[in-house]
Every structure is written in structure tokens, then in C-alpha cells.
Amino acid sequence: MVNTFPPGFLWGSATAAAQIEGAAHEGGKEDSIWDAYARVPGSVAAGDTPDRAVDHYHRMPEDVALMKSLGLDSYRFSTSWARVVPGGRTVNAKGLDFYSRLVDELLDAGILPWLTLYHWDLPQALQEKGGWTNRDTAHRFVEYAEATYEALGDRVSHWTTFNEPLCSSLIGYAGGEHAPGLTDPRAALAAVHHQHLAHGLATTRLRELAAASSRPIELGITLNLTNAVPNDPTDPVDLEAARRIDGLWNRMFLEPLLLGSYPADVLDDVRDFGLAELIEPGDLETISAPIDFLGVNHYHDDNVSGHPQPASARPSLKPTAKPGRSPFPGSEYVSFPSRGLPRTAMDWEVNPDGLETLLVRLGREYPNLPPLYITENGAAYDGDVVVDGAVDDPERRDYILAHIGAVARAIEGGADVRGYFVWSLLDNFEWAWGYAKRFGIVHVDYDTFVRTPKASALAYADVIRQSKEADRQAIADDARATL
Ligand code: PNW
């Protein structure tokens, strides 16, 4: 099936520090906001915490060997700010040492390290000073980025500033379902702007550091993007709701980065919540510093309506959520009715065509779009069981293969996509869902931490093998043709 990927297409898997490492208070690491939030009763399903996660901190070489056995080209991981700069000010050499060993292990295995600086685990010490509502946090982020670059920049060429700022701003500060668990729309929009600013400042600084040492560097950011589909495309109320969600979900993040401005309609939609007042002269120039790639995380489309729906229409992001909370400032009334498509265990609708549409559309709407990488795509399903050292997970396998097919079609349709990272290498701490939702292509036994590749991992390894074989074939054909 797979022979349509451009030569050099990067195949990888992704994880995040707080979701896999464990060792929450070892090696000098202190609380991140997720450690603190998970201790608040009712915040994470079943009272789960990231304390031990899947013990990757102690099993890192085994996990890298697993990636090598699957034939992965690249590994997208995040560094934990609370491990590297635990109190927000002083660098912890022991924390950096863990990542230095990880990077060496990856390079020895022939796997390209793809590093993300912020996958949601702010040091709790900085949260106590206001977290992302405090503009100063952006400057602390630059110091953390510098320290990480100084330790790893000689071996890591691919750097991502933020993973899904939408989640760590709107869901964490307005929706209340992610750390720090606030339900304050003004705070959420301050978090948006200060994360943008942190991204721009760090991008500029890392670019300077790389230039000073004459090292090649690829810098980017990962956004979670969606198609906001009007439930009834002939109904002006649904069209207006879809415009608002497209604005808050996609354009409020894409346009400052790519165009150097917030969309005017979004600023108008959120005029009561103080976003415009936070923008200082020069901020948007900083935020729109050129990037080399855009990471796209995509799991599902969003079917949007402006009409009230029964409470069951939009499954909450977590089981314990109070009804009526919304991550969307000024658009709290919007609902997300089901279209009757098959759903994953997250209750997210499965629609691979949506990924193709999204990727092609991005290229059309933003002429200066940098190359794209799918930095996350994957699915949680219930019912993984280990039988004789194997896990049969046909639904996850089909989901992944169908979405890889959609990426291939998008490329044929003109999208410049250079790689695909499956979420996730391992079953892990799924944020507010705790350990209840399994996204791994490798099963983890939460009592013994034994890893077992699922059928989806083997199918993914096959895709990679076939794609590389097609690459080799094409190179050989070219060579013959030029003889
Ligand atoms: C992403 N939504 O989170 C994260 O980057 C991962 O850490 C996470 O494990 C993965 O996707 C699966 O959830 C998301 O509400 C959280 O649409 C929420 C949404 C999407 C992605």
C-alpha cells in the first residue's frame, strides 16, 4: 500500500516526559503542575498520578532498543522543564544528564532525536508565580531552552518549542480539565499570548546559539489542528459557531506564528477577556520569527453547532468533568454533536479523510506555510490483552493505517508533509484520564512494566519497511535510467 511517500520521509513515534518517565521526584526533579494537579481529588480519573508512569526513566535503553527493532527513523520526546530547571531558576545537571544519555542511546541506534521543550509540565514553582498568566514565565522558558540547548545542541538538530499550546492554555486555564485546572477565560488568553511569546523568544535565541556554533538546526512548533465542520452547512447559526471554533482552535495559533497578527474576528470574539490589551509593541514580530517546520497533531475533526444539544452530545475530555465547562472563551455556547461515525475509546470520531482535507487546506490558506510533519496521530481503544506475548489490536492498527493513507493522499494533493510520528510508542499517563486510556503501539503492563508490541506496532513496522524498500527501488531505477 505504501509507495507514495517522498524519499527521506521520516517515520517515528512520539511520547512526552510527564506521560512516560515516572521518577517524579528522583534525580533532583521537583513537582511539575501535572504532579501537583494530579494530587487534587477528582482531577485525574481513578486518582492516578504521573509518579511512576511507565518507568521510562529507568528503562530508557530498553525503550530505545524497542524503537530500533520497529525500524523507526526518529523519536519525538519531550524534556521535562521541572527536571531540567526544577524550581524555575537553577539548572539541575542531573536532569540534563538523563536526556544526554537518551540522545546518545538514540544516535547509537541510528534514530534521529526530535526534542520538544514544553509538553505541558511547567515547574510548579513557576505556577505559584502565576504560571503562564505571568509574562515573566516566557523569559524563564528562554533560560530553560538555553540550558537544554547548551547540554544537547551538539547532538540534537530538531527542536520544537511547544506541543499543542491550545491544550496547555485553553484547556488548562479555561476548561479546567488540564493542569493547572483553572476556569478563567482571561487567564486562558493570557496563557495563549505568553506561550506564543515564549515560543518566539526561544526560537530567536536558539537560532542565535546555533549560528554562533555553526550547527545546523531545524526549529518549529507543534499545533493540534482540526477541521471545524459546521453541523448543518446551510444553517447560519452553525456556520457562525464553526467560524468561532476554527478561530480559537486553529487561526488564533497559526496566524500570529505565520502572519504576525491575531485574526481580527477572533480578537472581536474575545474582546471581553483582555487579549488585545496584553500585546506589547514588538510582540508579534517576535512571535512570527521564521520556523523551519510546523508539527501537526491530529486525532479527529470537530463537528460544530451553534444550537444547544443534549448533555450527551459532547463527551467531556475527562470522566470527572463538571458539565458546562468550556475551553472556548466567548464561545461557551458552542456544541459538538455526533455525526454517527465510529468512535475511539476517547469518544473521538474516526474520519481519516479529515486529515487529508486539513493538510491540503493548510497549504492553500497559508502560502508561507513551512514543511509539515504529523507529530502525533493515533488512537486509544479498550480491550488490549496480552495473550502468549502478543496483543491483537485491529482497531488501532486500522486507524493508524487509514490515517497514513490519508497523509499519502494529501501529499498527492499537494501538501508538503515530510514525516509521520505515531502517538504513542507506549501506553502511558493519558493526562486527566490517567492510565485508563491506552494509545500505545506497545502495551505496558502497569504492574510489572513489561512491554509487549501490539499488532499495530508490527503493522506500522511493515509500513516503514515497505516505504524504505520503495525508496531504494526508486533510487535504483533512477540510477539505471541515467546510465
Ligand atoms: C494530545 N482534544 O492531547 C497530546 O499532545 C498528547 O500528550 C496526548 O496524550 C494525546 O494528544 C492524546 O490525547 C490532546 O481535546 C488532548 O481534542 C486533547 C485533545 C487533543 C489532543
Any atom of ligand 1 within 6 Å of the Cβ of 164: yes
CB-CB contact of 249 with 331 (8 Å):
no
Cell (9 digits) for 482: 541515467
Measure 218 CA to ligand 1 centroid, in angstroms: 24
| Res 1: pLDDT | 52
From the list 369, 226, 387, the residue with the least C-alpha distance to 297 is 226
Any atom of ligand 1 within 6 Å of the Cβ of 160: no
Cell (9 digits) for 207: 537560532
Q: From the alpha carbon of 300, which atom of ligand 1 is closest?
A: 17
Cis peptide before 424 (omega within 30 of 0): yes
Any atom of ligand 1 within 6 Å of the Cβ of 152: no
Any atom of ligand 1 within 6 Å of the Cβ of 376: yes
Indicate the angle between helix axes 394-412 and 352-365, nearest 10 degrees.
30
Catalytic residue among 105, 164, 177, 349: 164
**Angstrom distance (rounded) from CA 351 to CA 347:** 12
| Res 312: pLDDT | 61
Write down the residue that cell numbers 477528582 correspond to.
42
Residue nearest ligand 1's atom 13 by CA: 430
Question: 164 an active-site residue?
Answer: yes
Measure 225 CA to ligand 1 centroid, in angstroms: 11
CB-CB contact of 132 with 173 (8 Å):
yes
431 marked as binding residue: yes
| Res 318: pLDDT | 56
| Res 478: pLDDT | 86
Read out DSSP for 321-358?
A: PPTT--SSTT-TT-B----S--B-TT-PBP-HHHHHHH
Question: 349 an active-site residue?
Answer: no
Measure 431 CA to ligand 1 centroid, in angstroms: 8
| Res 423: pLDDT | 99
Instruction: Note the Cα 433 to chain centre separation in Å.
Output: 16
| Res 148: pLDDT | 99
Q: From the alpha carbon of 428, which atom of ligand 1 is closest?
A: 9
Any atom of ligand 1 within 6 Å of the Cβ of 116: no
Residue nearest ligand 1's atom 8 by CA: 430
Any atom of ligand 1 within 6 Å of the Cβ of 423: yes
The answer to whether the predicted template modeling score (pTM) of the entire model surpasses 0.90 is yes
Residue nearest ligand 1's atom 19 by CA: 167
119 marked as binding residue: yes
Neighbours of 61 (CB within 10 A): 13
CB-CB contact of 31 with 88 (8 Å):
no
Measure 337 CA to ligand 1 centroid, in angstroms: 19
End-to-end CA distance of the chain: 29
Measure 478 CA to ligand 1 centroid, in angstroms: 41
Any atom of ligand 1 within 6 Å of the Cβ of 358: no
The DSSP code for 371 is P
| Res 85: pLDDT | 98
Any atom of ligand 1 within 6 Å of the Cβ of 302: no
423 marked as binding residue: yes
Residues of the chain with pLDDT under 70: 1-3, 311-324
CB-CB contact of 50 with 83 (8 Å):
no
- pLDDT, one tens digit per residue, over 213-268 is 999 999 999 999 999 999 999 999 999 999 999 999 999 999 999 999 999 999 99
Measure 167 CA to ligand 1 centroid, in angstroms: 8
E-assigned strand segments in 365-478: 372-376, 386-387, 390-391, 417-423, 442-444, 451-453
